[in-house]
Amino acid sequence: MSASLQKKVGLAALVMTASVFLSRIIGLLREAVIAAVGGYSMEVDAYNVAFILPEILNHVVASGFLSIVFIPMFTRYLVQGDEEEGWRVFSIILTGFGSLLLLGIAVTWIWAPQLTRLIAPGRTDPQFHALVVQMTRIVIPAQFFFFAGGMCMAVQYAKEKFLIPALAPLFYNIGIIAGGLLLSRYCGMAAFSWGALGGAIISNFALQFWAARKVGLRLTLCFDWSHPALREYILKTLPLMLGLGMAFSTELFQRFFGSFLPDGDIGGLNWGYRIMFALAGLFGQAIGVAIYPFISRFVAEKNFAEVNRLLNGALKYIAVVIAFAALLMVLRHEIVAVIYRHGAFSDAAAGRTAHIMLFWLVGAFAFASQTVVTRGYYAMQNTLLPAIYQTLAVVISLPLWWVGLKLMGAAGVALAASLVATLQVLWLYALWNRRSHNRQSKAVYGFFFKMIVISMPVGMLLEGGRRLLVTLIPTGTFWGSLLVAAVISGFFLILLVVTGHVFKIPEIAETIRRLTAKLGGRRRAAQKS
């Protein structure tokens, strides 16, 4: 990799890492506000279930895959020097799929009462379903703004502009928080639904449309169903629309199976998942999004050796998440207490959520790695293969969800999701290695195994330290839990530095270096101000 390209990738990764980190922090703040307002209750369960139909509609039109499919297409036009045709294809896709999406929104809004009973069959309470229908109808129009904004973000990524797209999830979460805080006294949990709609309009559409115009957006209403690029786009997105990807199936099944659990457990599953996903997203999503435009360019140039080098390097960096997952397992009670134990969220609710979170963390490395592993397939415009294999993994594992539910309740649902995610990512990476002749994959497997082996004694040392601390510091308070978490985290960082030095693990050293650089940069900025 050339020095200039390495600098670009590093800058892109830095921007996306900061975005994902802040988004996850604000996302956890959003969940904390929801927990404080709604508690471990049926109303919060209804709020979570209300997002299933919108997410299914979003999945059907492949809104979440716009960047994955459209970036390589648009990049190809840029490489060929035919940007004008790229904007024409942009207009055709946005006009055609946007019209179909509006029709789907109207149908879903009308049939919401019937559809919501299918997605949460375990709940028969009429009040629960009335709340789900009400909030579903509020949130469903947001899907159009996600789709149109996603198209605008895709062209910014293709132009190697990352800043404004990075702001979208931040302002979206702020919108949900603002809606909940300002309106909850008037309309209960529905206030958060109104906040989600407002956040989607402002952050995911209006801001992105403005930024896309700054990079040259030329949009016209164009219904050209015969254009070959539209057919190509449909063929590439069709497997993604019909397939059951890791993130989508996890969101769907944790609520579907959660509907057979007692009131509040859907919320408990979601709160545990959000903490795990904050960790996984910090390592996986930021890196996956940052390297994707560069992988797409290497694929366009048929430089597959560089593609494998980027993917392997990213996966080895992500493997460090295993050690951080061990830290969160040890501190699960303190972390849940600090984030969620406010307002209507009781001590019993915190204990139950911490127990569920433990089993989500088992799959943290898989959720982080999946974002990167699939990027190689998508850059090659091969959406069919990962969709088939991920769907097969989900279908094969359906009994696992049910067994987990019956044997362990909410914790079993979380464990099933973690095992399914692990199966999917290992399967996809093994297949990629065979198809791309990736000769360095053994080093990646070896590094993951090394991190698992190292993290086990580190976790035991941390657990011993925590047990000693809780005898000295009362953890029944916010500040007590925060102090225990801070001390154990500091001990963890020392162990991580020592481990990286002793075992000569450059990825750990690089992680610490970046953290130190960020802190140093903030300190210098503070001194200047």
**pLDDT score for 16:** 62
Work out the mean pLDDT of the chain and round it to a whole number.
85
Q: In the chain, what percentage of residues exceed pLDDT 90?
A: 44
Contact status, residue 440 vs residue 308, Cβ threshold 8 Å: yes
Burial class (CB in 10 A: 0-12, 13-18, 19+), 525: exposed
Least confident of 342-346, 372-376, 455-459: 372-376
For 114-129, the pLDDT digits (tens) are: 999 999 999 989 999 9
- Of 1 and 471, the structure prediction assigns the larger pLDDT to 471
**Ramachandran area for residue 215 (φ above 0: left; ψ -120 to 50: alpha; else beta):** alpha
**Ramachandran area for residue 342 (φ above 0: left; ψ -120 to 50: alpha; else beta):** beta
For 216-233, the pLDDT digits (tens) are: 888 888 788 788 888 888
Decide if pLDDT at 66 tops 70: no
- Of 527 and 119, the structure prediction assigns the larger pLDDT to 119
Nearest-10 Cα torsion for 514, 515, 520, 522: 110
**Cα 287 to the center of its chain, rounded Å:** 12
Least confident of 16-25, 318-327, 436-445, 519-528: 519-528
Amino acid letter, residue 110:
I
Q: What is the mean pLDDT of residues 271-286?
A: 85
Q: What is the mean pLDDT of residues 484-494?
A: 93
**pLDDT score for 521:** 47
**pLDDT score for 529:** 38
